[in-house]
A and B are shown apart, each in its own frame.
Chain A
Amino acid sequence: MKRSLEDHLIDIVVYTFLFLLAIVTLYPFWNSLVISFNAGNDTAAGGVTIWPREFTLENYKYVFKDARLINAFWITVTRTVAGTVLSILFTSMFAYAMSRRGLIGKKFYMILCVITMYFSGGLIPSYLLIKDLHLMNTFWVLIIPGIISVWNMIIFRTFFLGLPDGLEESARIDGCNHINTFFRIVLPVSGPVIATLSLFTAVGHWNSWFDASIYISNPKLLPLQVILNQTIQSILSFEASTTISATKQEFLQNAQSVTHKSIVMATTMVATIPIVMVYPFVQKYFVKGVLVGSLKE
């Protein structure tokens, strides 16, 4: 079919618009990347935009020499991998049970679950709970409280409900119990939904900092995002403050001037790029995956 002028025109408009949108979205990221490769003293003079003015790898050398950051990096990686695997495993098992017709009190469980989507205990009750569970200051506090996601459970459940009944019946006939059916039949055909939800969960884990900031005091257990947040905060407080003693202000400023904006940007890059690199690998599932579970036949 021959494309009309109108088609071309629309294409041009659409592509131009999307291109501009992409630039607007990508520019801050690109600028951060550029600053992270620019010499710190030079960055302070401003005006570094699309290309480093004084190229240097010093900022990255500094970041990778910082034992605290390296440790935090591994905590984040471990937390992301373990958190994602465990969360997907537990959530999908839960969802599978919730998708079975025979489950007694299914509606009641569902209501309980949905309530948690709208209401939470608030910070201090949650803190007391975590404390009484002896999860304070442990690695597990990053994983267990969020191990079941109701939202993901509902998506899983809808997906499982959409699987043909025959699949499960045939497994039954071959002698599978629920556990076998789940692991051998249901999970293997759920590739796209697992991939998609894993990606969401992984990104969530990777970016999360609040839980760690509240529950963890041991510096060896802090994830990367908390360290990044600390570094950024220390630059922000440069703004402050007219209330503290002038001598302290001076002392703080001198101490902080060691951390350049360029170093913060390098840290940001180290904290962002790994998770961004996961996307291409999950892309093919992703396109399929976002739609799965949205419809029940």
Chain B
Amino acid sequence: MNKKKWLTCLLVTVLSVSTLLSGCGSDKDESKAATENGKAGEAASQDQPLEFTMYNFDDGWQPSPWGETVTTKWIQENKKVNVTYLPTNGNAKQRFNAMYASGELPDVIALGPGPELDRLISEGQVVELDPYLDKYPNLKKSAGDMILDINRSDDGKLYLVPDWYVGGDHLNGNGGWAVNRKIYKDMGSPKLETLTDLESYLRAIKDKYPNVIPLEVGGPYDIKMLYSAFKENTTPYFVSRMFYPDGNKLKPITEDPAFKEFILFANRLYRDKLMTQDVFTQKADQMIEKLSQGRVAVSLNVNLSGRARVPNSTLRAQDPEAGYEFIWPIHKEGLDKNKIYPNYTGREAGGKIVITKNAKDPERIFAFLDWATSDEGQAVLFFGPPGFLWDTKDENGFPIPNEKYKSMDKAELDKLHIADNIMAGNATWVDNAKVARENLLPEEQRDFQTTQQVNVAWKTSMDITAFANTDPQGDSEEGIILQSVKDMFDQAFSGMIYAKSDAEVESILKKANEEMQKLGFPKVLGVLEKKWQQNMNIINGK
């Protein structure tokens, strides 16, 4: 009897499951038929909706499905465009390689510079965009010739639409120095401008508040931001790239006297426990935690305006005197404080969008991207469709939030994912539009991040467009050298921070400098220098 039960049970399960599965099977057939129809339609007529697949090479951010937000629904209805996102499923690189190898590249790919982009272009997988540039003029108008020229490949052709380019005079950045307002006031609001002021302030904090971290940096990169204080017209970007410009030459950063001063200073802060002790291991969460508890006296971080935003409002809600406030970047005695740049901006845009040769109708896709990057497109993609949260625009063309926006709960607004699907972003437009929107609010209601950006961060950002796309290809000789230099330098850098004495720092630095020569770094710098000069010529319009 019992055996029979087992068998019946098994058979019933198999039966019910196969019924279930046949349901799934037919679903697949339907969707296949639908896409086939879509493709046939596309070729047939311009009036048919435009359909394309898009892959966002970014595990960290996957936009809401097309048509599920008010914004994309509006685009579907008014622009007749339907985007099917191929998800990375948290596995972006492997999925991309598999798609590439099987010849199944999506129609559109959004990615950053790197080996994948190099490969797509050098293997001729992506569509050249020059023929469309004049026919659809928005990109040219918004980004300008310089940004497009910088993004051209070695063969002089443009294969990509820059994503989040920074045109005009605007410079962006989210980082910088901030003080804990309450502690600062309790300490008697001392002058905090030079490195000496900073060091004595940090030492005083350590004595008075044993539980407070005198200088909180988020991670290793943020230590490098200190470098900007030691020389005019210098950004932490140079430390990341391991070179510094000297006249029209690029030299290894280890030869820079300012770098030596910086690393000795940073080591001293670390050694004397004035700086975050778990800087090499902690995560963003832990930093935000400390900020939220008000256990940070001074902070230096590349994304500080974002990271301190919620902690600031939490602390101010408890005590209006508390919270964080950006200060003008710290500088070495004798330097011009207006030439100190902890932030930097590459106008060429960190993101790139390419249209692959698999796309049925690349011209229409470009036309859509061109609309997306236009002021009109950005207004819809960033603020939502007209008539929803805004009705009219101001004299600069920025949407004016309506009553519905003003009365809407912030959490409800977040859930709408209005700006989720923004593409071909124009950073200058978005930043200025955001400021215009904030300026309509009374001062105390303005967003912390925007205020810090306008007051300090954007003013202390250095234009590094001249170094755009200068990295050698990963599989070239220079690329391989660069990688080994990078590994060596990273190790040396943490060694110098952990060092027990000045003498130890100096000996590691000396050794790192010798290693750079030995590994062949000057050869890489030669290549970089050439590209840098080429970019300079483009920027200067030669």
Which residues does A use to contact B, with CB under 8 Å?
A: 41, 44-47, 78, 81-82, 85-86, 89, 123-124, 127-128, 131, 137-140, 183-184, 187-189, 191, 209-210, 212-214, 216-222, 226, 229-230, 232-234, 236-240, 242-258, 261
Contacts and interface: CB of A to CB of B under 8 A. Distances in A.
Contacts of A128: 101-102
B431 interface: yes
A85 B461 CA distance: 61
Contacts of A246: 172-175, 343, 345, 427, 461
Given A139-B24, A249-B303, A250-B306, A244 B90 contact: no
Contacts of B305: 250
Nearest to A191: B6
Contacts of A226: 89-90
B164 A188 contact: no
Contact of A256 (B61, B166, B283): B61
A77 to B, nearest CB: 10
Contacts of A46: 285-286, 289-290, 292-293
A253 B303 contact: yes
Interface stretch (B91-99, B195-203, B522-530): B91-99
21 contacts: A46-B290, A47-B289, A85-B13, A85-B17, A89-B14, A123-B98, A139-B25, A140-B25, A188-B6, A188-B7, A213-B88, A220-B27, A229-B90, A230-B88, A234-B62, A246-B175, A249-B306, A251-B419, A252-B60, A252-B61, A255-B420
B302 interface: yes
Contacts of B289: 44-47
Interface residues of B, number: 79
Contact of A233 (B60, B164, B419): B60
A213 B21 contact: no
A250 B102 contact: no
B17 A230 contact: no
Given A214-B94, A218-B31, A184 B3 contact: yes
- Which 3 pairs of residues, A with B, have the shortest CB-CB distance? A237-B60, A188-B3, A46-B289
A122 to B, nearest CB: 10
Nearest to B286: A46
Contact of B306 (A184, A214, A253): A253
A261 B104 contact: no
Interface string B348-374: 011100000000000000000000000
Contacts of B60: 233-234, 236-238, 240, 252, 256
A13 B52 CA distance: 65
B449 interface: yes
A54 to B, nearest CB: 13
Nearest to B170: A247
Contacts of A188: 2-3, 6-7
A127 B62 CA distance: 23
B412 to A, nearest CB: 11
Q: Which residue, of B21, B60, B420, has the highest number of chain A Cβ atoms within 10 A?
A: B60
A238 B284 contact: yes
B495 interface: no
B336 interface: no
Q: Which residue, of A191, A250, A253, has the highest number of chain B Cβ atoms within 10 A?
A: A250
